[in-house]
Structure 1
Amino acid sequence: MPAHGENKDRRVADSPSETAEFHVGATLRTLRKQKGLSLERLAQASGVSMGMISQVERGIANPSMRLLTSLRRALNISMQELFGEARGEIPETGEPSFVRRRAQRPVIDLGMLHKELLTPPDRHQHLQIMILRLEPGGTSGGHALSYPAEKGGLVLSGKVTLSVDDEASELETGDSFVFDSNRPHSLRNIGDVPTEILWIIGAVQFDRYL
């Protein structure tokens, strides 16, 4: 995987073009240590090798969306925590708790894939909304980890191939989709320009899968 320069300082942007960005590896390392997990134990729980976890934590390897999901679920952390926001912590912005301003969106840069969190800070469980930006030729890293959830989205710009199980569809600007996240799925930018996708993850009732 291509190397990505470290940016360990989270910051809140003064304008939408300076969106907050930080080093996701450092966040993963901090959360792993807070939970008292060794690299070996996290590797066993996530199915990701110790070497890869170490490289991600040190910021010398870009994790795919699949790898990041595997680590997040093994650590049992929320999407907000992955983006560097402490559990239960609501920043004092003077805004209603249900609002996140554009300049306050945290971003994870995974090289060919950028994830921008839209969900307000106090919403840790039931609905997650992001903007995914895939560079030309970029992918989500093969089949994503399957887990009980509903996923949906809208292609805001560009073209992307969405594969779910053995089916694939080429989607263009304005096309939308919804699928069961228990089904293996992946994304690939098939165009010559970056693709932006409004990405929505909704929790589902677990008794549906009993």
Structure 2
Amino acid sequence: MPRDKAKPEPNLGAAIRKRRKQMQMTLQMLCDKSGVSMGYLSQVERGNATPSLGTLAQIADGLDVALEYFIAAPKPSDGLTRGNERTQFALANSSLTYESLAATFPGAELSSYLLHVPPGYESETVSHEGEEMVFVLEGEIEQTLDGQKFRMSAGDCLHYSGQLPHAWANRTDTTARILWTGTLAVLNRAGAIELPELIKKA
């Protein structure tokens, strides 16, 4: 009877580097935030040094994730969220509400949210690294991308580079619901640090 193959050990250095780049942090920035020397951090990222649990906790704190982000082996069920169990939250002084969909595990690159967009809402124009995809589930939004305006209704989808200036608005009198997915680490999905601007809603 063939023996089961052992699961490969996660590449800790690569996971740290990927998370750092997701957060658009330089090695020096992570050094300053974690209190770990830049030379040692460089060794860890290249796989030439293995940090102690205490040092890894410092690095995790500097990357705004819990220690478990790097040491816990995710189960398939960890990526499952139930529609009636997800908590909605909003940024302070904003009428837009979110539901987080993406799981958090070493090497994860996607952020994904359900957005509930009230009538009259209009976002600021932004640009950044990475890419985004917007899929309209209900209602209608107006997406502006690099100066062009697209009126999108249920079933419409737009995939674009985050480097292009973009914004969106709900110019109707009904709430829109959209699925947003991107490679930008928008919020602290791991929940290691309670962001003061977040207001959780039941």
Query: Under a length normalisation based on structure 2, what TM-score does the superposition of the two structures give?
Result: 0.51
Is the contact between residue 135 and residue 158 of structure 2 (CA under 8 Å) also seen in structure 1? yes
Counterpart code for 1:137: G
After TM superposition, give the deviation of residue 172 of structure 1 in Å.
Answer: 0.8
Partner residue in 2 for 1:194: 175
Specify which of 69, 83, 97 is matched with residue 78 of structure 2.
97
Aligned partners of 2:69 and 2:106 also within 8 Å: no
SS at match of 1:88: helix
Instruction: State percent identity of aligned pairs.
Output: 23
In structure 2, what is the equivalent of residue 156 of structure 1?
Answer: 137
Higher relative contact order (CA 8 A, sep 6+): 2
Q: Which one-letter code corresponds to 1:117 in the other structure? A: S
Q: Which residue number in structure 1 is paired with residue 113 of structure 2?
A: 130
Alignment-mate amino acid for residue 112 of structure 2: I
Q: Is the contact between residue 112 and residue 139 of structure 1 (CA under 8 Å) also seen in structure 2?
A: no
C-alpha separation between the residues in 1 aligned to 2:121 and 2:67? 30
* Cα gap change, 1:117 to 1:90, in 2 (>3 Å): farther
CA 1:137–1:96: 2 relative to 1, 3 Å: same
Match of 1:171 in 2: 152
Q: Following superposition, which runs of at least 4 residues in structure 1 exceed 3 angstroms of deviation?
A: 75-78, 121-125
Distance 2:85 2:76 in 1: 11
Structure 2 residue matching 1:96: 3-state secondary structure:
helix
Q: How does 1:82-93 map to 2 (within 5 A)?
A: 88=69
**TM-score of the pair, normalised by structure 1:** 0.50
- Structure 1, unaligned runs of 5 or more: 1-34, 37-74, 204-210
Q: Does 1:120 align with 2:103?
A: yes
Deviation at 1:124, TM superposition (A): 6.8
Higher-Rg structure is 2
Task: State the alpha-carbon separation in 1 of the partners of residues 138 and 71 from structure 2.
Answer: 32
Amino acid of the structure 2 residue aligned with 1:177: L
